Amino acid sequence: MSRPLSTQLGRTLTATVGLSALLLTTLSTASATTAAPADAAAAAAVGAPARDSVDDEHCGRIRFGQTTNTATALAAAPAGQSASFPKHFDLPLNFQPEGIAIAGSKAYFGSRVDGRIWVADLRTGTGRVLSPGPGTASLGMKVDAKGRLFVAGAGNGNGRVIDTRTGDVLASYTFTTATPTFVNDVILSKDAAWFTDSRQPVLYKVPLGRDGELPAASAVQTVPLTGDYVHDPLVNNANGIALTPDRRALIIVQSGTGTLFKVDPRTGVTSKIDLGGAVMTNGDGLLRSNDTMYVVQNRLNKIAVLDLNESGTSGALIREITSTDFDIPTTAAFFDDRIYLPNARFGTTPTPETEYWVTAVHR
């Protein structure tokens, strides 16, 4: 996702991962040449195609005990349903997108300029403002089975929850008043929303009630990151976040080093994931389906496709997805057999007339 403003100075500003150039995408898949993982089970699966599944970024579950996935009805789409949908559609001029979330055939995007939330119909690409925003950036986002959109609040050190039916803000949480801070992305588990901070060596946990009730602000927890993770104040640190294939732990990508870490949600202890030498340079949004992890490498204009073992301790790079329509995509979401990404266009100096768009590629 986006770099903090302090990091963006000296380079042209752009938006994250998007879709909006009036052309159809040209998709190319390149074979990966990195070594296989040490884990034998993961190595045996290398080359296996990604399996379709419920979008695990839609209210995914960390399984501390027996759980069920209540997001199936929201995320599942009949096979081939997207065939007639546009593969490229525009966002508002100068929108500067960052995050994306999809529920049904609706896609939600956040603006780095003023925090507006734009909702678009994937069938047509047309959209409208759902929520006017707080005047500060909206970054990573996820939608749950109750139609609530969880949004990371960047340099404000906060997050908020929006009703996707009305656009109303249901709750707002201040995670930190420390500086610098850059709340960058979010993932949903069975009992919590987890937010990364690219400028602080912590995760923020917003615990959810038994039936998903939003908590009081006083219930928010800060979980320090320890173990293999080394925080570097000079680079973009924890960025994208996802669940392990067994849903018992978290995975984060450290953008500045291109390293994936497994995180124990109880303790914050991290361990480096063995990718057989593969480095996720410019790693941004993470998106998982079963044991397949998609890592958006924003400035490289590609998606790395990894095959992970069940526990998320090792994996291998099996292929890469590129598109001529990419212009620094940042985050991603599934619909049917597609991955949708907003283009941040960080290499383009934004003006009131700068175009931004969303690109769809095949998984």
In three-state form (DSSP H/G/I as H, E/B as E, the rest C), the secondary structure along the chain is: CCCCHHHHCCCCCCEEECECCCCCCCEEEEECCCCCCCCHHHHHHCCCCCCCCCCCCCCCCCCCCCCCCCCHHHHCCCCCHHHHCCCEEEECCCCCEEEEEEECCEEEEEECCCCCEEEEECCCCCEEEEECCCCCCCCCEEECCCCEEEEECECCCEEEEEECCCCCEEEEEECCCCCCCCEEEEEECCCEEEEEECCCCEEEEEECCCCCCCCCHHHCEEEECEECCCCCCCCCCEEEEEECCCCCCEEEEECCCCEEEEECCCCCEEEECECCCCCCCCEEEEEEECCEEEEEEHHHCEEEEEEECCCCCEEEEEEEEEECCCCCECCCEEECCEEEEEEEECCCCCCCCCCEEEEEEEC
Residue 314 counted as domain residue:
yes
Residue 87 counted as domain residue:
yes
Residue 135 counted as domain residue:
yes
pLDDT one digit per residue (tens) for the chain, 363 residues: 554 444 443 433 333 334 343 333 433 333 333 333 333 333 333 333 333 333 444 434 444 333 333 333 344 456 677 889 999 999 999 999 999 999 999 999 999 999 999 999 999 999 999 999 999 999 999 999 999 999 999 999 999 999 999 999 999 999 999 999 999 999 999 999 999 999 999 999 999 999 999 999 999 999 999 999 999 999 999 999 999 999 999 999 999 999 999 999 999 999 999 999 999 999 999 999 999 999 999 999 999 999 999 999 999 999 999 999 999 999 999 999 999 999 999 999 999 999 999 999 999
Residue 342 counted as domain residue:
yes
The reported pLDDT for the residue numbered 82 is 83
Question: Which residues span the domain enclosing 196?
Answer: 5-349
The reported pLDDT for the residue numbered 83 is 87
Residue 148 counted as domain residue:
yes
Q: What is the CATH number of the domain that holds 127?
A: 2.120.10.30
The reported pLDDT for the residue numbered 68 is 33
The reported pLDDT for the residue numbered 81 is 78
Residue 358 counted as domain residue:
no
The reported pLDDT for the residue numbered 1 is 56
Residue 178 counted as domain residue:
yes
The reported pLDDT for the residue numbered 166 is 98
Phi, psi dihedral angles at 40 (to 5 degrees): -65, -40
Residue 359 counted as domain residue:
no
The reported pLDDT for the residue numbered 29 is 38
What is the total count of domains within the chain?
A: 1
| Dist. CA 284–CA 289, nearest whole Å | 17
